[in-house]
Amino acid sequence: MILGAILAGGRATRFGSDKALAELAGQSLLERAVDTMSALCDAVVVVGREEAPAPTLPDWPRADMGPLGGIAAALHHAADAGYDAVFTCAVDSVGIGEGTLAELGAAPAYCADQPVIGLWPASASAALDALLESEGRHSMRAFAEAIGARPVTLTAPPANINTPEDLAAAERRDGL
């Protein structure tokens, strides 16, 4: 079983407002992400927000840990609830399709261009805890290396919306 986890706790400093609530084709990025992940996973959680159109989890071990704090929370939840793996994406990852999981293959694997998009074994929570508690480098790639995750170049990588200009470009590209 796969738990889908949408990372939505970022500060969105480059975007200038709450990116999760920004609309693309009349739907918030958060709603779009929940709909997308619901079609691909057995269950979905939103990490880093108190309110969402899906169950929410706080970052682990605390807020402001970046994407790794969200992934750690999702991995802990998945392990406790009996999921085999966690499929993660950022709230601003627009364009994840049915083929994304197939291209990633077996866990652990991640999108080479956007490592926050990944399929992580629920058992990786201990390795991530150790990384977050260490004095070392706390990055997506350090986590991926620590668990032997494979970088995968996706055929059609999702858009990564960091600015209002990126959002406008996504609307133009998708003809929305």
Total residues belonging to the chain: 176
pLDDT mean over 14-30: 90
Distance CA 3, CA 121 (A): 10
Q: Residue 3 above 80 pLDDT?
A: yes
Model pTM above 0.85: yes
Residue 142 is part of which domain span?
2-173
Question: How confident is the model at residue 41, as a pLDDT?
Answer: 98
Name residues whose C-beta falls within 8 Å of residue 29's C-beta, 6 or more positions apart in sequence: 19, 20, 21, 22, 23, 91, 92, 94, 161
Q: How confident is the model at residue 173 (pLDDT cuts 50, 70, 90)?
A: confident
Q: What is the DSSP string of 83-108?
A: -SEEEEEETTEE---HHHHHHH-SSS
Domain total of the chain: 1
- Band of the pLDDT at 174, cuts 50, 70, 90? low
Give pLDDT tens digits for 138-160. Answer: 899 999 999 999 999 999 999 99
Query: What local confidence, expressed as pLDDT, does residue 151 receive?
Result: 98
pLDDT of residue 98: 86
Asked if 160 and 114 touch (Cβ cutoff 8 Å), the reply is: yes
Q: What is the CATH number of the domain that holds 40?
A: 3.90.550.10
Nearest Cα neighbor of 40 from 113, 89, 92, 111 is: 89
Let me know: does 94 contact 100? Beta carbons within 8 Å.
Answer: no
